[in-house]
Amino acid sequence: MIKTLLTAFATLFWVISSGRAQSTIQITNPANVPLSQEVVAIPWAKVVKAFPVIDTTNFQVMLTGSQQPLAYQLEHQGQKDVQNLLVQVSIGPNQSIGLIVRKRKPVLVTPKTYGRYVPERFDDFAWENDRVAFRIYGAALNGRSDNAFGTDIWAKRTNQLILNKWYKQNDYHTDHGEGLDYYHVGLTLGAGDIAVFLHDSLQFIHNYRSWEVLDNGPLRTTFRVRFDPYTFDGVRVQEVRTVSLDAGSQLNKVTVHIEQNSGKTLPMVVGISQRNEPSPVLLDEKSGVLGYWEPKHGNDGTLGIGCVFPDTPVQMLTKYSHLLARLNAAPVGDLVYYTGGAWDKAGQITSAEDWFTYLRQFSLKQKQPPVIRAMN
Cβ atoms of 273 and 189 within 8 Å: the answer is yes
Cis, bond preceding 218 (omega within 30 deg of 0): yes
Q: pTM to 2 decimals? A: 0.93
Distance, in Å, from the CA atom of 124 to the CA atom of 113, rounded to the nearest integer, reads 17
Distance, in Å, from the CA atom of 306 to the CA atom of 304, rounded to the nearest integer, reads 7
Are residues 94 and 203 located together in one domain of the fold?
A: no
pLDDT score, position 40: 98
Overall residue count recorded for the chain in this entry: 376
Any idea what the CATH number is for the domain that residue 248 is in? 2.70.98
Q: Note whether residue 122 is domain-resident.
A: no
Any idea what the CATH number is for the domain that residue 9 is in? 2.60.40.1180
Q: State the DSSP H helix or E strand holding residue 115, giving kind and residue range, or none if neither.
A: strand 113-118
Helix (H, G, I), strand (E, B) or coil at 237: strand
Cα separation values, 198 from 268, 324, 335, Å: 8, 14, 17
Beta bridge partners of 215: 222
Number of structural domains in the chain: 2
**Among residues 49, 76, 103, which one ends one of the domains?**
103
Q: Note whether residue 132 is domain-resident.
A: no
pLDDT score, position 235: 95
Distance, in Å, from the CA atom of 126 to the CA atom of 135, rounded to the nearest integer, reads 4
Reference 291, options 344, 340, 328; nearest CA is 340
Q: Note whether residue 158 is domain-resident.
A: no
Cis, bond preceding 229 (omega within 30 deg of 0): no
Reference 338, options 291, 374, 371, 301; nearest CA is 291
Q: Note whether residue 176 is domain-resident.
A: no
For each of the chain's 376 residues, which pLDDT tens digit applies?
444 333 333 333 333 332 344 479 999 999 999 999 999 999 999 999 999 989 999 999 999 988 899 999 999 999 999 999 999 999 999 999 999 999 999 999 999 999 999 999 989 999 999 999 999 999 888 888 788 889 999 999 999 999 999 999 989 999 999 999 999 999 999 999 999 999 889 999 989 999 999 999 999 999 999 999 999 999 999 999 999 999 999 999 999 999 999 999 999 999 999 999 999 999 999 999 999 999 999 999 999 999 999 999 999 999 999 999 999 999 999 999 999 999 999 999 999 999 999 999 999 999 999 999 988 6
pLDDT score, position 21: 47
Are residues 325 and 193 located together in one domain of the fold?
A: yes
**Among residues 77, 103, 129, which one ends one of the domains?**
103
Domain range enclosing 269: 189-367
pLDDT score, position 375: 83
For residue 62, what is the DSSP state? E
Distance, in Å, from the CA atom of 269 to the CA atom of 58, rounded to the nearest integer, reads 46
Q: Supply the Cα-derived Rg of the chain in whole angstroms.
A: 22
Distance, in Å, from the CA atom of 216 to the CA atom of 41, rounded to the nearest integer, reads 15
Reference 179, options 157, 164, 152, 163; nearest CA is 157
Which residues, 6 or more positions from 371, have their beta carbon under 8 angstroms from its beta carbon? 27, 28, 30
pLDDT score, position 16: 34
**Among residues 60, 83, 103, which one ends one of the domains?**
103
Q: Note whether residue 32 is domain-resident.
A: yes
